[in-house]
Amino acid sequence: MKKLNIKIKGMRILLLQLSILFFLASCSNFDETTFNDEEEGGEGVLLTDAWICDMKSYEEDHWYYEMYLDANGDYIAVSDKRILKVNKDGVLNSMILITYPDDDPYRLKIYNDKIYRFHYDNDFQDFDPNQPIELQIYDFDFNLLSEHELDSKGLIYDVEIENDNMFGMLVYNPDASVMTLKKLHLNNGLISEIILSTSGTNPTNLHIADSGNYFCTASSTRDNFYLLDNDLNLIWANEYDEYTISDAKFIEGQGIYFTGGVSPFVNPDRPSYVALIDLDGNKVNSVEFDPGERWSPQMQINQDRICLTQTEPESGKNMLMSILDFNLNIESTLEIPGNYVRSRIIVNELGSFSFVYGIALDPNDPDVFPLSNNRIFKFDSTYDLPTNIIVQ
């Protein structure tokens, strides 16, 4: 039923047989799963914690997944077409094809083992100021748990979940050119709000720190950072006009790290950067580096390292993964060939990093889009490219 290509010698045969029995019992829905895990010289090795789950069993038709790690260390990846369940050993346990009941623009979030789909039947051209934002909540088997009409109207630019019933949301009204940050309770409606801009779509990205602070950033050199308390009282707003900001993380005891591109007015080569500011908005440290033709870093931070991923503009090809320490020294870089399919970075149960990244189905024609298949990468503390590739 499954074909496992594992070369192994001597005392490992018994362990291999037990592993096969476990694998067959846990993956009865998937055929032709191949484990490739060889050292140089061809001598087989046992499976390791780090792996690449390479899902060649189907063609991908979406460019982004929302990624989630459950309490067991297993992965849930959700797009607008399917739900993937991959266990912490890199085995694809199930793939559920899904269809949402509408084609509304949406923001997808996963929180506490539930999928939250925030959506609106609205657009710039025919904006209806009376059209509410709606929310559907699903479980991981795509059972609809509840539907809600939220106490908010407008176009969603970003949303973050504070707890099961509390959400922060950046909402834009194109009629008034107003960007508003709102805090909403699922049942009690609007809790608080603050207008952040009356002249366009800044800021565009929302973050909620573990401390409860809200902070907003923009991929612009104008009005690109706002720090607020949990009641949405503005603590300060700042403009780092030498930077555009693509991602940010609040780290207790350190400050706020953010990343993006240097303004072309400051440096026409537009290098990437990482900067650290304190809670008063003062720059503590920064580093600039050349990522080649890549842009818009995504950031994740574990207990002692910063991980950045970048791809080429437009195509999303040729990922560069960079690892920095908290003093912003670049410790390593890793080029990962592929294209298109992406996700946010998450911290896995090893304390390292994981993400989704795709690769073209036809390596001789990598420009074909969206014909690609997904790969979930799970790194260990070495941050080296995993050699254990699980093809299924």
60-72 pLDDT per residue, tens: 666 789 999 999 9
Q: How many percent of the chain have pLDDT more than 90? A: 66
For residue range 200-213, list pLDDT tens digits in order: 888 999 999 999 99
Rounded mean pLDDT of 292-312? Answer: 95
Cβ contact 265:279 at 8 Å: no
What's the confidence (pLDDT) of residue 339? Answer: 76
Residue 96 has pLDDT above 60, yes or no: yes
Cβ contact 202:222 at 8 Å: yes
Q: How many percent of the chain have pLDDT more than 70? A: 83
Higher-pLDDT residue of 358, 231: 231
pLDDT band at 367, cuts 50/70/90?
low
Residue 142 has pLDDT above 60, yes or no: yes
Q: How far is Cα 368 from Cα 363, in angstroms, rounded to an integer? A: 10
What's the confidence (pLDDT) of residue 15? Answer: 35
Rounded mean pLDDT of 139-164? Answer: 95
What's the confidence (pLDDT) of residue 43? Answer: 43
pTM value is 0.85
Higher-pLDDT residue of 1, 216: 216
The set of residues, in sequence order, having a beta carbon less than 8 Å from that of 225 and lying 6+ positions away, is 203, 215, 216, 217, 218, 237, 238, 239, 240, 245, 248, 258, 281
For residue range 2-52, list pLDDT tens digits in order: 333 333 333 333 333 333 333 333 333 333 444 454 444 444 334 469 999
Residue 126 has pLDDT above 80, yes or no: no
Cβ contact 379:371 at 8 Å: no
Cβ contact 108:66 at 8 Å: yes
DSSP-derived 3-state class of residue 13: helix
Residue 133 has pLDDT above 50, yes or no: yes
Distances (CA, A) of 91 to 32, 74, 227, 338: 12, 10, 41, 21
Chain mean pLDDT for the chain: 85
Rounded mean pLDDT of 315-334? Answer: 94
Q: How far is Cα 110 from Cα 137, in angstroms, rounded to an integer? A: 9
Among 285-289, 315-319, 361-365, which stretch is predicted with the lowest mean pLDDT?
361-365
Residue 382 has pLDDT above 90, yes or no: yes
Which of 66, 62, 61 has the alpha carbon at shortest distance from 355? 66
What's the confidence (pLDDT) of residue 201? Answer: 86
pLDDT band at 216, cuts 50/70/90?
very high
Among 7-16, 87-96, 215-224, 235-244, which stretch is predicted with the lowest mean pLDDT?
7-16
For residue range 245-298, list pLDDT tens digits in order: 999 999 988 999 999 999 989 999 999 999 999 999 999 999 999 999 999 999
What's the confidence (pLDDT) of residue 158? Answer: 96
Rounded mean pLDDT of 296-314? Answer: 94
Q: Measured over all CA atoms, what is the biggest interatomic distance in the chain, rounded to whole angstroms?
A: 73
